[in-house]
Structure 1
């Protein structure tokens, strides 16, 4: 566990360093800004997972908190279009317990993500202090910290746990926002693609996480 935590910290540092280096290359001698933000998931769900017989093993409903912190750097291409790079740390909601059989309920197979992505923004040119815009993200989601599949038997009150492996996948999202005095508020629909498998198995299931999020940020101009 200590080795995994160390690897995770080093990986996160490398991603931030990569973002800074790419930003310096892309934004050199040009107008650019950095937009850190924090967000919460308003509505979310996981991909359903079936057992070997085609019956639902895990449901798609979620519970509890889901959110993220992100930092994005943009180059101003013209009055309407900004193009940039972003990285985020995302703590997804937990999966709700699912009634697998009359005596067994299941849960787990959830994870966290660090997506690295291209970010685009289209600004509507209005004579107003409030500036609306559309935006989109496209990149890769590094998924980690997967939880076990848990099967709890209500008869004997015992819980069986099965270790799960997960893979990374595409990350993409679209949304809209408004900017007022360098403060930004956004509503985003985004998906982290993921595939999961029982530890050691070659059979993989889609375990995507999608949600609608509310994000608040601030724009630092350079």
Structure 2
């Protein structure tokens, strides 16, 4: 998707073999999984475009919950959705002119290996659903999220995200692109979505990029 598509239009690939995710990681989507993208127009007064990653995470969570109502799920900063403590999706944003292209990959039928991560799929967790049907539910959830994002602002989105995420006080370790790690307790999010980390000495710091491990 080049960013010229109308808002609300979704593009789905049957497979993906050359995708690149966050921090240059390989992002594959084998047959039976979902890789899709949609464009969001940027309008005057919209929240920060990068915050659409929280909208996307909430949408994936809602769509999965539709098919797996009783399976343990958790949102993990910055844009992971965990099912049974395993990664099930990938989310990537790209600014193209006056649009943001939101790419979402969800493990539907298969759980391709991700180095250093435990992964799962909807099929493995007990959901019998095809990628096309899941995309239909995902598009409904995403449309609701974008509407909320525009009408009520980022604060409401972050409130909903935190209600479904790792709780305040949970032990987390952050790692940046250089491999440097910082451990502490999750202390919530800033007003613009950065992670607040309380170190062992009580110092509060803000993390704006990187990965975290929990527990």
Larger Rg: 1
Whether TM-score is above 0.5 comes out as: no
Greater strand share, structure number? 1
Greater helix share, structure number? 2
